[in-house]
């Protein structure tokens, strides 16, 4: 339990290597002395720590083991939570159809259990999955439902997240004014609740500015997103933000900026072992090769 506590503290402090060390030690102790329920939780904590480093295979393996233990024990609620975590991994890997299949199963179970908190989270993730598949009407329906539930259970962070997903959907639909209004809604909530600034807000704002051919304002917004990630020591999110910024810059004929951002991403990936971003890096290199100066 002490190792778990130390691991959680390290996780909240964004010190993932230390968190992994404590969770691994807790797992070793429980494999020798713990009961299956404690072992199940150790694997789930490990999965979260691996996910924060974007080590998806290790996170998935730990979750699968935790799920098997939950099913053996008969802990239906915990099993559903682990399945939702597995779906989130599929989302991060771009396996959107697999994610949707799992999320819909979790959605049905959370409805049966009357677990509105869990239901809100999986509904928001369904909105994101459908957004990535460009099934925008389905995405919007789920996003609006997630917003309503977040308001009901009074969870400001989930509400902001769901509002920004809806803003992304409206951006993809070409409804820039509505997307901008979502940004304003999210910012008001962030300000009134004293919540930490959210990089997703600045990323969406930056995309809107780029689309409106306002590159200076777009660069300011993306720089603010980068600063949010730095403050939270969220290295994976920082790398992903810079990758998106590089794509937008290249699309706006800002090749030098795109190349500089890509070089920074490659350093981040190497320093933090963010293997999950290698494919996106390769794709951006290909885009640069196809658009020589």
pLDDT digits (tens, 9 = 90+) for 32-73: 877 788 888 888 888 888 887 777 888 899 899 999 989 988
Structure tokens at 121: 């989270």
User: Which of the four pLDDT bands, split at 50, 70 and 90, describes residue 12?
Assistant: low
Across the chain, mean pLDDT equals 89
Q: Which residues contact 22 (CB under 8 A, 6 or more apart)?
A: 3, 4, 6, 7, 10
Dihedral angle over CA of 265, 249, 186, 146, nearest 10: -70
Q: Give the largest Cα separation in the chain, rounded.
A: 62
Mean of the pLDDT values across residues 213-233? 90
Q: Which residues contact 219 (CB under 8 A, 6 or more apart)?
A: 206, 257
Residue 14 has pLDDT above 70, yes or no: no
Q: Which of 29-33, 120-124, 126-130, 263-267 has the lowest mean pLDDT?
A: 29-33
What are the counts of helices (DSSP H) followed by strands (DSSP E) for the chain? 15, 0
166-169 long-range contacts (CB < 8 A, ≥24 apart) are 166/127, 166/140, 167/204, 168/131, 168/204, 169/127, 169/131, 169/136, 169/139, 169/140, 169/143
Residue linked to tokens 């439902």: 145
Mean of the pLDDT values across residues 87-103? 91
Domains of the chain: 1-74 (1.25.40.10), 90-195 (1.25.40.10), 198-293 (1.25.40)
* DSSP codes joined into one string, 122-191: HHHHHHHHHHHTT-HHHHHHHHHHHHHHHHHTT-HHHHHHHHHHHHHHHHHTT-HHHHHHHHHHHHHHHH
pTM score over 0.85: no
Mean of the pLDDT values across residues 219-233? 89
CB 241 within 8 A of CB 226: yes
Percent of the chain at pLDDT > 70 equals 97
Is the Cα torsion angle 111, 60, 17, 46 positive or negative in sign? positive
SS3 (DSSP) at 115? coil
Alpha-carbon distances of 284 from 25, 132, 239, 254, 259, rounded to whole Å: 39, 18, 13, 14, 9
């Amino acid at each position: 339990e002490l190792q778990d506590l130390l691991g959680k503290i390290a996780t909240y402090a964004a010190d993932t290597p230390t968190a992994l060390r404590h969770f691994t030690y807790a797992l070793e102790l429980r494999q020798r002395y713990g009961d299956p329920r404690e072992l199940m939780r150790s694997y789930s904590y490990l999965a979260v720590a691996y996910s924060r480093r974007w080590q998806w295979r290790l996170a998935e393996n730990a979750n699968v083991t935790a799920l098997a233990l939950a099913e053996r024990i008969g802990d239906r609620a915990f099993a559903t939570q682990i399945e939702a975590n597995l779906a989130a991994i599929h989302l991060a890997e771009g396996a959107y159809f697999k994610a949707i299949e799992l999320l819909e199963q979790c959605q049905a179970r959370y409805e049966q259990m009357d677990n509105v908190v869990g239901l809100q989270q999986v509904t928001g993730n369904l909105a994101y999955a459908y957004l990535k598949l460009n099934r925008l009407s389905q995405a919007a329906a789920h996003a609006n439902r997630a917003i309503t539930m977040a308001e009901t259970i009074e969870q400001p962070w989930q509400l902001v997240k769901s509002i920004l997903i809806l803003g992304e959907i409206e951006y993809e639909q070409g409804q820039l004014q509505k997307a901008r209004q979502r940004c304003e809604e999210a910012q008001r909530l962030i300000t009134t609740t004293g919540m930490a600034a959210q990089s997703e807000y600045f990323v969406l704002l930056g995309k809107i500015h780029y689309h409106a051919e306002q590159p200076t304002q777009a660069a300011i917004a993306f720089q603010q997103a980068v600063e949010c990630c730095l403050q939270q020591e969220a290295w994976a999110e920082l790398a992903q933000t810079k990758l998106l910024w590089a794509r937008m810059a290249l699309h706006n004929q800002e090749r030098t900026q795109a190349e500089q951002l890509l070089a920074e991403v490659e350093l981040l990936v190497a320093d933090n072992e963010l293997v999950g971003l290698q494919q996106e890096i390769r794709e951006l290199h290909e885009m640069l090769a196809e658009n020589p100066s």
